Amino acid sequence: GWVDVRTKRRRDKRWECECRFVSPGGKCSSWISAASAEGYVSRELAFSAGILLGRELAARYAVLTPVETTTYQ
């Protein structure tokens, strides 16, 4: 599988990030915010946070049974 990461610049010039895990079979988790309330000072920091959270999602997904993966979010 892989992790999708998307970043967006806010009006206050800070960055936010979301990520999701896509399984090898193509099933996707929901987009999950990786941003703190303050946001990130750079796109690179936001992207790094998204990668770290995405890795956590992938690790969680790997231990779920096939039945649980259909309701995973």
Give 14-39 pLDDT, tens digit per residue. 999 999 988 888 888 889 998 788 99
Alpha-carbon separation of residue 27 from 7, 21, 60, 70 (angstroms): 21, 8, 14, 8
Please say if the pLDDT value at position 5 is more than 60.
yes
CB-based contact 29:61 (threshold 8 Å): yes
Q: Give residue limits of the domains in the chain.
A: 2-69
Read off the pLDDT of each residue in 47-71 and give the average, rounded to a whole number. Answer: 76
CA dist., res. 35 & res. 1, Å (int): 23
CA dist., res. 7 & res. 40, Å (int): 10
CA dist., res. 38 & res. 7, Å (int): 15
pLDDT at 43: 96
CB-based contact 19:51 (threshold 8 Å): yes
Q: What's the pTM?
A: 0.74
